[in-house]
């Protein structure tokens, strides 16, 4: 599988920004006083093996501050981000970074429109992963209101904790990995960081002009003020690969930030340091468990020991008039486990056995679909034609304990009908019926190791019919990279 590797990428750079400022704050105060601390992770949550650490970085697309107050109109104007109602409480960026016992770092960007099971979110079966935060927040607040709670500060605090917990759960479910710490940054963080540093050095391969973000820059290296830096990192319209190119912009921005933070001038400029600490207090939420040892360990990471990748997407689709990314949860878990633990990606078998019934007119279709599923980790069951009395409609049914496998198989095959429980089926058993209307999914003819690496591009900004978009050149952190 062709992997996109970005050295010194956005995930680790974000972690290093937090780590450097955190170390400075700790050295002065010996505590994280004034920084918002979240308990959403929970003391009983799964943890990594001793010596290893998984950090989730959450970029919140909210036009609110940490207390739920609207950002000032002046900030919104600088962000070119619409009014305070735009964006809701979606997570615009989710990055899971793994630090090995010998301080090698592998980070995965999770595309925000990945269509995942809505574990624990009442009223939803599947959602875009970016929606977990906002939906859980709203549900928790409504429960409190129904119980008679009217204090807005309590509603906001409890709601956000529920949103964080739902996001952590969604990422764990998708990747199969524990999370040891997380850091959450709100939308204003980019602007505040650029303002504190005074200027940001960037480089563009081509001139750009975009009325939506306010980007209007020539090609080549240039120095941007805070407002221009925000336009640079927020531009999506007019770029060949939409959100994916915007991700490259964010990576380049953060490489520039890290170069400035590590410069001698930044580390001895106490006015600047105080401004950076104020940004963490205002724009960042940290999970419990951050301490001097963890800050120091992250801050000591060598940029040559960092790899940044993007989780694979099988195809684009539309569900309930929403553009979504269909993913293969089995492949994702195997890929992340291999990257974090070393060795070739293993395809762990699913616990469910899948029968495939050919109720259409295409000879050999059931056998081909069964092979397609077994290549992706599912256990092969019977391959046959329908017997008398069986439904010939395209459908997926399942026995006890096989609901998750049934939903994943339906998504892979592009079957829109909701999987149904069948008490007559054995536990751990799934039956896929291919009716006359069944159409093979676009990824059907691709082997497992050739799935498109679509990354963060979404269907309104890149055409999946032309194959994978340009993945961009690796960033090594040694120079200011030129990006599209």
| 423 and 479 co-located in one domain | no
Count CA atoms within 13 Å of residue 62 on its CB side. 26
**pLDDT of res. 305:** 60
CATH of the domain at 392: 3.30.70.2390
147-180 confidence digits (pLDDT tens): 999 998 999 999 999 999 999 999 999 998 999 9
Based on the fold, state whether residues 243 and 369 are members of the same structural domain. no
**399 and 257, same structural domain?**
no
282 vs 172, higher pLDDT: 172
Strand pairing of 220-224 and 284-287?
A: unpaired
Q: What is the mean pLDDT of residues 472-478?
A: 42
User: 146 and 233, same structural domain?
Assistant: yes
Same domain, 125 and 233: yes
* Segment 194-236, tens digit of pLDDT: 787 778 888 888 898 888 778 899 988 888 888 888 788 777 7
- Tell me, yes or no, whether 474 and 383 share the same domain: no
Q: Which residues of 440-479 are buried (b: 16+ CB within 10 A; e: fewer)?
A: ebbbeeeebeebbbbbbbbbebbebeeebbebbeebebee
Q: Does pLDDT of 45 surpass 80? A: yes
Assess if residue 221 is contained within a domain: yes
Q: Tell which wins on pLDDT, 265 or 47.
A: 47
Check whether residue 28 and residue 113 sit in a common domain: yes
pLDDT of residue 143: 95
Q: Does residue 179 or residue 250 have the better pLDDT?
A: 179
Q: Are residues 275 and 380 in the same domain?
A: no
Above 70 in pLDDT, residue 463?
Answer: no
pLDDT tens-digit map of 359-388: 988 888 888 888 888 877 788 889 999 998
Q: Are 272 and 379 within one domain?
A: no
Domain co-membership, 214 together with 118: yes
Q: Is 313's pLDDT higher than 60? A: yes
**Does residue 440 lie within any of the structural domains?**
no
Residue 1 falls inside a structural domain: no
Q: Is residue 171 assigned to a domain?
A: yes
Output 467 or 187, whichever has higher pLDDT: 187
Q: Read off the CATH number of the domain in which 285 is found.
A: 3.40.630.190
Statement: residue 357 has pLDDT above 90? yes
Say how many domains are in the chain: 2
Is 167 inside any structural domain? Answer: yes
Residue 439 covered by a domain: no
Tell me, what DSSP letter sits at residue 31?
A: S
pTM: predicted TM-score of the whole model, two decimal places = 0.70
Q: What is the pLDDT of residue 125?
A: 84
Q: Which residues contact 281 (CB under 8 A, 6 or more apart)?
A: 34, 35, 36
Residue 29 has pLDDT above 60, yes or no: no
Taking the C-alpha atoms of residue 178 and residue 171, their distance in angstroms, rounded to an integer, is 9
Same domain? 211 vs 81: yes
Helix or strand run (H / E) with residue 248: helix 243-261
pLDDT at 450 over 50: no
Q: Which domain holds residue 301?
A: 10-328+457-483
- Asked if 358 and 402 sit in the same domain, the reply is yes
Alpha-carbon distance of 55 to 92, in angstroms, equals 17
HSE-up (13 A, CA, CB side) for residue 60 = 26
Whether residue 337 is contained in a domain is answered as no
Q: Which of 175-184, 192-201, 276-285 has the highest mean pLDDT?
A: 175-184
63 within some domain = yes
């Amino acid at each position: 599988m062709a992997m996109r590797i970005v050295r010194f990428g956005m995930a680790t750079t974000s972690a290093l920004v937090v780590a450097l400022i955190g170390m400075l704050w700790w050295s002065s105060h010996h505590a994280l006083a004034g920084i918002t601390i979240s308990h959403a992770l929970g003391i009983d949550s799964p943890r990594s093996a001793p010596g290893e650490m998984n950090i989730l970085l959450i970029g919140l697309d909210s036009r609110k501050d940490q207390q739920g107050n609207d950002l000032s109109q002046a900030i919104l104007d600088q962000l070119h981000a619409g009014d305070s109602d735009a964006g809701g409480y979606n997570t615009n960026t989710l990055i899971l970074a793994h630090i090995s016992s010998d301080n090698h770092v592998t980070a995965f960007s999770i595309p925000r429109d990945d269509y995942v099971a809505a574990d624990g979110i009442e009223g939803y079966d599947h959602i875009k992963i970016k929606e977990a935060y906002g939906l859980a927040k709203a549900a928790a607040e409504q429960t409190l209101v129904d119980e008679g709670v009217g204090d807005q500060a309590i509603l906001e605090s409890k709601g956000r904790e529920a949103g964080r917990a739902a996001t952590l759960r969604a990422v764990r479910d998708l990747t199969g990995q524990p999370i040891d710490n997380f850091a959450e940054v709100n939308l204003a963080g980019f602007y505040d960081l650029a303002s504190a540093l005074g200027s940001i050095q960037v480089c563009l391969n081509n001139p750009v002009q975009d009325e939506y973000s306010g980007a209007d820059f020539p090609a080549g290296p240039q120095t941007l003020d805070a407002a221009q830096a925000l336009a640079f990192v927020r531009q999506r319209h007019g770029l060949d690969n939409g959100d994916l190119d915007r991700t490259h912009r964010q990576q380049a921005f953060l490489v520039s930030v890290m170069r400035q933070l590590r410069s001698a001038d930044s580390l001895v400029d106490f006015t600047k340091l105080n401004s950076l600490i104020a940004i963490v207090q205002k724009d960042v939420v940290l999970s419990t468990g951050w301490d001097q040892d963890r800050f120091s360990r992250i801050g000591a990471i060598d940029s040559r020991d960092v790899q940044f990748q993007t989780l694979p997407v099988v195809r684009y689709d539309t569900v309930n008039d929403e553009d979504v990314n269909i993913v293969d949860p089995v492949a994702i878990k195997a890929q992340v486990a291999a990257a974090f633990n070393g060795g070739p990606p293993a395809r762990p078998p699913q616990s469910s056995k899948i029968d495939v019934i050919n109720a259409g007119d295409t000879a050999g279709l059931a056998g081909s679909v069964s092979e397609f599923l077994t290549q992706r980790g599912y256990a092969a069951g019977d391959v046959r034609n329908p017997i008398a009395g069986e439904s010939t409609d395209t459908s997926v049914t399942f026995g006890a304990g096989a609901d998750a496998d049934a939903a994943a198989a339906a998504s892979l095959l592009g079957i829109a009908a909701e999987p149904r429980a069948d008490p007559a089926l054995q536990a751990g058993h799934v039956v896929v019926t291919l009716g006359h209307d069944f159409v093979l999914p676009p990824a059907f003819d691709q082997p497992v190791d050739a799935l498109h690496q679509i990354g963060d591009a979404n269907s309104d900004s890149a055409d999946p019919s032309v194959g994978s978009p340009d993945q961009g050149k690796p960033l090594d952190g040694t120079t200011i990279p030129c990006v599209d």
